[in-house]
Structure 1
């Protein structure tokens, strides 16, 4: 028996305001967050890499400066050396050529630094964001996952963060290069010919209006496309996870049609996106070409009127070429911005969903648990507009008592047990563990003292030992083997090709249903908690395995609080108390013999199963 209970205080932050799950709020989730708050959050990911960021920006400055210097070098050669009748023309040309080669070398080194270290900075930020989002996923409650598609959540942690990282790297660099290059080119062009420069820059306001119009359309199209690719991921994940069911019902064609529908919706969203993208980039590219043609035509006219010489026109054309490149960078930045900011919005939509189950402000650490569980007028419903699954239920379970919950499907047996570890929050009433409201203790300490074997067994990809060790991560090999023996799993494990080191495949597909169930039971044996919940834990076992596990279950239940949910009444004959649930609450309770003698609900259930 575990010793008397005590609690140690553990400070915890105030629970944040709850938000509706994403599925209920759609794409507008998180829209209530102030833009300033999101802006600070956006910039915060630069903080750990400020040194690398400034080095990247310094290299971008050098690249911009060298880009502007090269046309000036060409102008110096054409005007000062070739047009100045210098006696050392070849020497001066060679010298200037060497200087230009040095500039190109520095330009190349800086570009390489930007390409490698800049991208690595973006990749590190992407890694940070993925870690943060994954950690947040771990905090969200069952009610959130009840309404989400795994494929959509995977898209947000992979695709969205990738494009956001691209924006983090290329965004500042493109802005700096564009501003410096455009400003420097403008100054050079004005010095060569003011009138021609003003004509060229008249194109910019028109380009801006055009870009803003189609940029808005592109943003909506990209958002729709990201949502649709999430749907495709969800469809693929769902179909592949249930591939055995698909094949057993020969419904491959049906799954093809479901996927085709999702794929068609994605194709439609991409068509809208590509159309907007074509108008956006094609139009801006046309404006860039118009600028070049304008320079050639008006520059030629200026030469005819002797207001511009050929050397200046050559320099002018080189500068215009330089000017067009940052315009293209700006166009690319617009696309990158839309991809990245859309990804950031979707990223924040998840991050801004507060877990609806959090530690209270003065939550305490639960230690030395005995296992007394009490339900006091507990009611629960999954959603506000749903009817109560459990209503005004009161039940006391003594420390160390072995209690079985039975009843027809849908009366709330599994729900009741899910409320004890706070997988869901009660709608009314309270649940006590050793006399303490479970809402006043930390979730971690509460769940650490409760072991659960669920009806729907989940095993992770990896070895047999890895899956058993999940019950106690620092367990030794001897402890793992001992737990397996208690669950009557040791013999079948040793018959596997590599014993405890056998890879069981995704979700344990290489094991039978009974074998998977016994591994999940072994995990709880290894955890060795004072409160144990078996949710129809023997439902997948054959008669021989069921008896073996039943013996070990009763051994584990000795002096421990044990709740067993069972449809097979034969498995709970030895329970100290059987609680029969109905839609109105507790219909009757007592030992197996007492309930049979009562000739009520339990006796009817027992007689029905005896006839099968």
Structure 2
């Protein structure tokens, strides 16, 4: 954020005035040199002999000033980061009573920033002083030589005064350029940081003749797919093979770090597989246009990302042309409509930055509505019921079951109740697909899936007879 806001602002503020001053000083320097040569070549050469001293002095300070400016920008970025972290995590800070720690951490970074600013000011003052000293020594030498030349009759008083007055056109711009050094290095450092972002390579690129899919049925096939993140020592996913038919409900299960999120990120082409091939409706996803692919494949993330504005504007985010009835329908599917209608402003209620006025469960349901309104062909739910209460979670699971009939759905979950509804279960362990099949098949195998969810499975098996008995009692009471 500091690069986008502060560094760009610094460049914008300094660049115009800096270039004008730079151009005018260099022009004055060149004109002054020409005038001195035209008056007296020998004395002009003596004046030019001072230039190497300026260059040596400038080069001595250049790397030091640039390094300090780099550290200044980095500390400035860290200060922005601390402010952002504490604003976003204010509840966590207060709940752990860490206000003093965070205050001291902030003051520590500010102290580092101020020390660097002081060092920068001292270095630039020394540079300016030394350049001024060189100019003073040079002017003194030229004055002495001018007096000697007038005594010997090789220079008139008029030429001497003209030369002496013109020396300022040579030394003055040099001293000004040294004074500008602080701004030059400041801008150069900011430019370097900005171009580090601009020069970042686009890792996911479209094919030259990318396919624009007008409709997608939802057949997804992974063939020997592996994924290794950059600079990672091992594979996040290794040799995945499975096929999903259109309209299937697929549950992806596994312990933390098993590669569940990596798998669905490949579907959205947030990453490309290191090895293997992924096809959607027979087309390699690398041959499908990114906009087309992501228009048909949507994900409800584990942590809802909302925007300041109204509930309606957030629901419409991915489909700005949606009608009010479509907005209502999406919120009903996400089990959010009743809550919205209980609010005074209903769908025009402002939710604040990041949905600050909503609970965790309400944010999740709003995120689901944002996705459902786009009517995706492939729906991805990244453990998106984790922040919901049991009652709402049950309703959402039933909703997922209903909407999955018309589309392919991938659900990352740790709930056996959802797994029982799945047409296909994918069990990941250490980045490998160790089991796949239906719920009944995997329970009978009593393998990795059964071991992982044994407690939930046994609890459900114990509850099943009780539920059936209650149903029978209700039916008998009705008959009686």
Query: 1:427 maps to which residue?
Result: 274
**1:493 aligned residue:** 340
Partner in structure 2 of residue 502 of structure 1: 349
1:245 aligns with 2:87: no
1:225-269 CA distances to partner (integer Å, 9 max, x unpaired)?
223322333333333322222221222233345445544544454
CA distance in 2, matches of 1:577, 1:592: 8
Deviation for aligned residue 1:281: 1.9
CA RMSD of aligned residues (A): 3.4
Out of 192-201 and 331-340, give the one that drifted further: 192-201
Matched, 1:468 2:315: yes
Say whether the 8 Å CA contact 1:166–1:340 is kept in structure 2. no
Please state if 1:278 is matched with 2:122: no
Alpha carbons 2:442, 2:450 under 8 Å: kept: yes
Residue deviations 1:359-396, cap 9 Å, x none?
Answer: 13343222311000111122223245433332222111
CA–CA separation in structure 2 for the residues paired with 1:606 and 1:155: 45
1:313-355: CA deviations, max 9, x gaps? 4x77765556555334322443333223333333333333212
CA distance in 2, matches of 1:404, 1:199: 84
Report 1 or 2 for greater relative contact order, CA contacts < 8 Å, sequence distance ≥ 6: 1
Match of 2:474 in 1: none
**CA 300–411 in structure 1, closer or farther in 2 if over 3 Å, else same:** same
Tell me the CA shift for residue 277 of structure 1.
1.5
Q: Could you say if the C-alpha distance between residues 381 and 264 of structure 1 is closer, same or farther in structure 2, counting changes exceeding 3 Å? A: farther
**SS of residue in 2 equivalent to 1:378:** strand
1:517 aligned counterpart, secondary structure: helix
Secondary structure (helix, strand or coil) at the match of 1:366 reads coil
Compare 163-172 and 383-392 and name the one that shifted more. 163-172
Superposition pairs of residues 300-339 of structure 1, within 5 angstroms: 313=161, 319=166, 325-339=172-186
Q: Would you say 1:539 and 2:354 are equivalent positions? A: no
Aligned residue pairs: how many? Answer: 458
Alignment equivalent of 1:573, drawn from 420, 442, 451? 420
1:435 is displaced (CA, Å) by 1.4
Tell me whether 1:549 sits opposite 2:413 in the alignment: no
Tell me how far apart the structure 2 counterparts of residues 378 and 191 of structure 1 sit (CA, whole Å).
76
Tell me the distance in 2 between the aligned counterparts of 1:305 and 1:503.
Answer: 89
Structure 2 segments unaligned to the other structure (5+ residues): 461-480
Write the deviation string for residues 184-241 of structure 1: whole angstroms up to 9, x where unpaired. 4455566777777665554333223222322232222222322332233333333332
- Given that 1:215 and 1:280 are in contact with CA atoms closer than 8 Å, whether structure 2 keeps it comes out as no
CA distance in 2, matches of 1:192, 1:422: 71
- Is the contact made by 2:212 and 2:289 (CA closer than 8 Å) also made in structure 1? yes
Distance between the aligned counterparts of 2:287 and 2:277, measured in 1?
A: 11
Q: Is the 8 A contact 2:71 2:116 kept in 1?
A: yes
The corresponding residue for 1:176 is 23
For 1:202 and 1:168, the matched residues in 2 are separated by: 32
- The one of 426, 433, 436 aligned to 2:283: 436
SS at match of 2:24: helix
Deviations 1:405-442 (A, max 9, x none): 22332222222111111112222221111112112222
- Contact 1:403/1:578, CA 8 A, preserved across alignment: yes
TM-score, structure 2 length as denominator?
A: 0.83
Distance 1:311 1:582 in 2: 90
Give the conservation status (yes or no) of the 8 Å contact 2:254–2:260. Answer: yes
The answer to whether the 8 Å contact 2:219/2:244 transfers is: yes
1:209–1:534 Cα change, 3 Å: same
The answer for the alignment partner of 1:48 in structure 2 is none
Report the secondary structure of 1:158's partner residue.
Answer: helix
For the 8 Å contact 2:217–2:281, the answer to whether it is kept is yes
Contact 1:431-1:437 at 8 Å conserved across structures: yes
Could you say which residue in structure 2 is the equivalent of 1:521?
368
Question: 1:453 and 1:527 mapped to 2: Cα distance?
Answer: 12
Q: Do the aligned partners of 1:182 and 1:326 also contact (CA within 8 Å) in 2? A: yes
- Whether the aligned pair in 2 keeps the contact of 1:579 and 1:589 (CA below 8 Å) is yes
- Change over 3 Å in CA distance of 1:193–1:465 after alignment to 2: same
Match of 1:558, SS state, is helix
Name 2:219's counterpart in structure 1. 372
Shift of 1:466: 2.5
TM superposition shift of 1:182: 3.0
